[in-house]
Structure 1
Amino acid sequence: MRLLRMMMGLCLLAAVSLTPGLASATNYTLWINGRTGGGTIGDYNSFTYWGPSSNAAGVNKKAVNWDGYNSISSQSGHIRDALDCFCTGNNWCYVATHSAGDMMIGYVLANYGGSARVKKNAAPNSSGVCGNSDGTSQTGWNIKWVRAASGAGGGSELADYGSWAVGDPLTKDLKTATARAMYNHNTTRNIWFYMYAGAKGTAYSGILPGQDDEAVAYHSSGGVSGSSGGSYCNPSDWLCNDLTLGTAANEGGSTKWSYHAVSFRDDGEAYNHYANGNWQGIVSVVRSAMVSSAL
């Protein structure tokens, strides 16, 4: 009888392991870079843009690299490849972005987040493309939330006024009117965007309205809705309306895009825009948040 029970148990275990859909689930943390790029496209272990890959940055961290130079539309395929790889089937993703990476994930979710995605096996080839898992598909991707360091989904006045003295396609996308009209920022597929706004600006960033981190102003990094940017500040600054925390309307009545909430406002003006290849600036705040909550 004992032998019979053991044999039945082994048979049950084998049946469970072979049953489709009962494979173990894995969580991944995806980091999507911004302007200038730096990491090797297709290599999800290339963290050159961010900093040492040895630093903790969320469970099973992956660098989702794109060139940071060409247009959002032309480069979005690299992000879709990564989302297909790691965020389909039983697997789920946490997403962190920096600067134009916020525009990139927003664009991808708005335009492709309702499409059919073939479930992948999380085993990428050298181009960053994964093979099919069980041949079935799903709608969109399994994303728990997005945390955006200095999100540029609302564009930057540095692009408007030519302070970035370059003619690359991405800079054209980053013009405030262009960025805000590029996709429906309210269409996030019910995925929350948690915004982290830096405020350590300098004199040469004076063309940026309100508080800024030298490259992106609060109207963008705070997820403020509308067709153009505005002037938003910390409560200590009486010269413009306050950017509020959470989803609350800002001082003066402006609102944030749907499913956007300000998680961090740099009241101490301590964080600038730049990671400097060492997880610095406002990226450091998001990295800490990913370590503690992307589990």
Structure 2
Amino acid sequence: MMKFKTSLFALLLLALTAMSNIASAENYTLWVNGRTGGGVVGDYTSFTYWGPSSTAAGVNKKAVNWDGYNSISSQNGKIRDALDCFCTGNNWCYIATHSAGDLMMGYTLANYGSSSRLKKNAVANSSGQCGNSDGTAQVGWNIKWIRAASGAGGGSELSDAGSWALTEPLVKDLKTTTARAMYNHNNTANVWFYMYAGAKGTLYSGILPGQDDEAVAYHSSGGVSGSSGSSLCNPSDWFCNDLTMGTVNNEGGSSKWAFHSVSFRDDNEAYNHYASGNWLGIVSVVRTAMVSSAL
């Protein structure tokens, strides 16, 4: 009888432990900024880059801040800290990026998406690092998907032409040939990138081929493969090949990188590149999608 009670107690304890682990599972929405930065690095509540922190932007939203000035490789540890914090163990993440944040996430997954990661407890210190949860490790991170607002994974011709300050290390990374050769864009650790391409360009953005949002052209914001940028447009433009929706090849035959799909193409040319500290521009379209889908 005593052995039976002992065994029953052990089973109950095991069940309670399992229930506790299930109860502690959380989903998080991570927002990864682009060039210029603005939020406090290491402070996951600092949404200065995006807009008011009170604005809905997905479940358990966190601002993954990096300086938006130095090189992708030198700042990448900040991103890995956040992914370790909130996307390991029982926790899962939805991720939104803007501009160079797309280049940052692509670089992260291509180089570290299959690496061993210690599971963390989602309690961050002032440096943005979290403590270990149970001492065990896992392969990569628990990421449901990524939504990229004006993704600059393919670079920008504004960087090629010197329209941005050439002393910035990040601007050198954003040159089209450099960005496209920086890592294997087809290697996303099987995580999908859903691309949101803005098209409210201006006259001075004539440097950018095809449709653009003043800073990034469709070839990049649409996740189009190749060693350099190509000219892609909306269907209403008869003098330029169309950027197609989803994963299918574009008009003219150019393809998208693996695990990249166009979810939004700005056919009405209504959205520019800039969040302007108030969740505006193409970021507003992604924010709406995160509110409805990052649950």
| Counterpart residue identity of residue 16, structure 2 | S
Residue identity in the other structure for 1:18 = T
Contact 1:159/1:172, CA 8 A, preserved across alignment: yes
The whole-number CA distance in structure 2 between the counterparts of 1:182 and 1:20 is: 44
Alpha-carbon RMSD: 1.6
Q: Percent identity among equivalent residues?
A: 79
Verify the 8 A CA contact 1:17 1:23 in the aligned structure 2.
Answer: no
Question: Which residue is 2:71 aligned to?
Answer: 71
Q: 2:165, 2:74 → 1: CA distance?
A: 22
Shift of 1:11: 8.0
Q: CA deviation at 1:21?
A: 8.3
State how far apart, in whole Å, the 2-side matches of 1:19 and 1:288 are. 35
Helix, strand or coil at the partner of 1:145: strand
Alignment match, 2:236: 236
Shift of 1:207: 0.5
Other-structure match for 1:130? 130
What is the identity, as a one-letter code, of the residue corresponding to 2:85? C
Distance 2:178 2:17 in 1: 50
Cα distance in 1 for residues equivalent to 2:12 and 2:127:
36
Equivalent residue, structure 1, for 2:225: 225
| Equivalent residues in 2 for 1:280-291, closer than 5 Å | 280-291=280-291
Q: Helix, strand or coil for the counterpart of 2:95? A: strand
Paired with 1:18 and 1:157, the residues of 2 have a C-alpha distance of 54
Q: Aligned residue for 2:41?
A: 41
**Partner of 2:257 in structure 1?**
257
Please identify, of 8-17 and 194-203, the stretch whose mean Cα deviation from structure 2 is larger: 8-17
Structure 2 CA distance for aligned equivalents of residues 164 and 196 of structure 1: 23
Q: Structure 1: how far apart are the matches of 2:40 and 2:225?
A: 33
* SS, match of residue 63 in structure 1: strand
Q: CA deviation at 1:16?
A: 2.8
- Pairs within 5 Å for 1:264-275: 264-275=264-275
Separation (CA, whole Å) in 1 of partners of 2:115 and 2:165: 37
- Structure 2 contact 166–172 (Cα < 8 Å) conserved: no
| Residues in 2 aligned to 1:47 and 1:125: alpha-carbon distance in whole angstroms | 17
Q: TM-score by structure 2 length?
A: 0.95
Aligned partner letter, 2:244: T
Q: Say whether residues 1:181 and 2:181 are aligned partners.
A: yes
1:50 alignment counterpart: 50
Inter-partner Cα distance in structure 2 for 1:124 and 1:17? 26
| 1:20/1:134 contact within 8 Å kept | no
Post-superposition Cα deviations, 1:167-203, rounded to whole Å, max 9, x if no partner, equal 1100000000000000000000111000000000000
What amino acid is the match of 1:181? A
> Which residue of the partner structure matches residue 172 of structure 2?
172
**Does the 8 Å CA contact 1:21/1:90 hold for their aligned counterparts?**
no
Which deviations, in whole Å up to 9, do the C-alpha atoms of 1:72-105 show, x marking residues without a partner? 0000000000000000000000000000000000
Q: Which amino acid aligns with 1:81?
A: D
Runs of 4+ residues over 2 Å off in structure 1: 8-24
Provide the C-alpha distance between the structure 2 equivalents of 1:135 and 1:9, rounded to a whole number of angstroms: 28
> Is contact 1:16–1:22 with CA below 8 Å preserved after alignment?
no
Task: Name the TM-score, length of structure 1 as normaliser.
Answer: 0.95
Q: Distance in 2 between matches of 1:219 and 1:21?
A: 47
Matches within 5 A, 1:185-200: 185-200=185-200
Count, aligned residues: 288
Query: In the alignment, which residue of structure 2 is the partner of 1:115?
Result: 115
CA contact under 8 A between 2:165 and 2:171: conserved in structure 1?
Answer: no
* 1:59 partnered with 2:78: no
User: What's the offset of the Cα at 1:259?
Assistant: 0.3
Query: In structure 1, the residue corresponding to 2:263 is in which secondary structure?
Result: strand
Structure 2: which amino acid aligns with 1:22?
A: N
What are structure 2's unaligned runs of at least 5 residues? Answer: 1-6
TM alignment of 1:9-28, pairs within 5 A = 14-19=13-18, 22-24=21-23, 25-28=25-28
Equivalents in 2 of 1:15, 1:225: separation in Å?
50
Structure 1 residues not aligned, in runs of 5+ = 1-7
Distance 1:136 1:165 in 2: 44
Partner SS state of residue 207, structure 2: coil
